[in-house]
Amino acid sequence: MRILGIESSCDETAAAVVDELGHVYSDVVRSQVAAHAPYAGVVPEIACRDHLRAVGPVVERALADAGLGLADVDGIAVTRRPGLVGAVLVGVQFAKGLAWALDKPLVGVDHLLGHLLAVFLRYPDEGVPRAAPAFPFVGLLVSGGHTALYRCDGPAPPDVHELGGTRDDAAGEAYDKLAKLLGLGYPGGPVVDRLAHAGDAARAPVSLPAPMAHGLEFSFSGLKSAVARHVARAGKPADEAAAADLCAAVQGALVATLVKKTLAAAAREGVPRVVLAGGVAANRGLRACMREACEARGLELHVPPVRSCTDNAAMIAYAGALRLARGERDGYDIGPERRTELERLTKKGRGPRAQSPTTIIR
């Protein structure tokens, strides 16, 4: 079964052809980073318009790279949630049009499930084959909009149970906001990762709070606030070396909490294997520390290649292929949804809230 996958939930327009065993025949990602960089974050209106322009050519390229015509694919999978509604809408409408015109089955896919299953993708140029993880595993999903630990008992949404998520910023969001505060450009993750590698956390001029020491939930906004207060007081780092030390301290704190909570989740669930997923799983520090910690505890660690950590359509095509293989189909009435369909435990901003002094009279 060769499935065409389409992804447009944020700032990448992507298309790929993948089969139900995870073999990747083509994988095309067109990034909008340059369009959003001047704003140091994704501008939804720009994202939607750019997806509209790109989706046709990107799909054509994915088919050409796979050596297939439209008539050769066995089904169409598309990200339908979560994401920027207008951006998701472009991919969903395009997929519906194709499925209708070609009379092919259509399946909507949850983008977060796609990230969690990306570890099963097999690229022809990978060299040494990676062993696929068995179920159950503990999945740490760390991306630009989401951060949570899941117990995954299987590949369908009801098999995926959140063990704890972030109450405020996602890990990728923390990287992007840190980079914005330090004037390092967008997206922040790769540049902070590079600088952190060269820096020394012990020389950082600010002491950082441990982000939410207990439990399986996360909170990263305190780190951002500590850096913001430091920059307001002392100004931006004077040179790249000073920025590198600050990045090393922030990355150290972020990675330590992600690793510690992942190990705690595996121990609590009695699950001997861990999977990394999402854009922040591309982080060199996280990959290295998690490997060391898992080895020390005798846990299996499964890490996807960097290209399948960040947004791509191969993971969407694969998750869709599994749905089709289970005999599932969607109708032409599916539309974009802002929220994930995966079970959610942690509510953002949970805790007592101050009474609002605002009254709206209608």
Ligand X SMILES: Nc1ncnc2c1ncn2[C@@H]1O[C@H](COP(=O)(O)OP(=O)(O)OP(=O)(O)O)[C@@H](O)[C@H]1O
Can you give the binding site for Mg ion, defined by CB under 5 A? Answer: 143, 311
Tell me the sheet residues that pair with 134. Answer: none
Residue 30: strand, helix, or coil: strand
26 vs 32, which CB is nearer to ligand X?
32
Residue 252 binds: one of Mg ion, ligand X, none (C-beta under 5 to 8 A by kind): none
Shortest distance, CB of residue 340 to Mg ion, whole angstroms?
A: 11
Tell me the sheet residues that pair with 17. Answer: 4, 26
282 vs 317, which CB is nearer to ligand X?
282
Residue 282 binds: one of ligand X, Mg ion, none (C-beta under 5 to 8 A by kind): ligand X
Shortest distance, CB of residue 80 to ligand X, whole angstroms?
A: 13
Do residues 77 and 319 lie in contact, with contact meaning Cβ atoms separated by under 8 Å?
Answer: yes
Shortest distance, CB of residue 115 to ligand X, whole angstroms?
A: 6
Residue 22 binds: one of Mg ion, ligand X, none (C-beta under 5 to 8 A by kind): none
Residue 54 binds: one of Mg ion, ligand X, none (C-beta under 5 to 8 A by kind): none
Which residues of the shown chain bind ligand X in the complex (CB under 6 A)? 9-10, 83, 111, 115, 143-146, 172, 175-176, 187-190, 193, 278-280, 282-283, 310-311
2 vs 7, which CB is nearer to ligand X?
7
DSSP run (H or E) holding 250 = helix 240-269
Shortest distance, CB of residue 311 to Mg ion, whole angstroms?
A: 4
91 vs 144, which CB is nearer to ligand X?
144
Shortest distance, CB of residue 146 to ligand X, whole angstroms?
A: 4
Rounded Cα distance, 103 and 70, in Å: 11
Closest by CA to 259, choosing from 142, 168, 160, is 142
Classify each residue of 138-160 as buried b or exposed e, where b means 16 or more C-beta atoms within 10 Å of its C-beta.
bbbbbbbbbbbbbbbeebebebb
DSSP 88-120: HHHHHHHHHHHHHHHT--EEEEEHHHHHHHGGG
105 vs 175, which CB is nearer to ligand X?
175
Residue 172 binds: one of Mg ion, ligand X, none (C-beta under 5 to 8 A by kind): ligand X
Shortest distance, CB of residue 349 to ligand X, whole angstroms?
A: 17
Establish how many alpha carbons lie within 13 A of residue 248's alpha carbon, considering only the half-sphere containing its beta carbon.
18
92 vs 280, which CB is nearer to ligand X?
280
Beta strands in 195-318 (DSSP E): 273-277, 300-302
Residue 182: strand, helix, or coil: coil
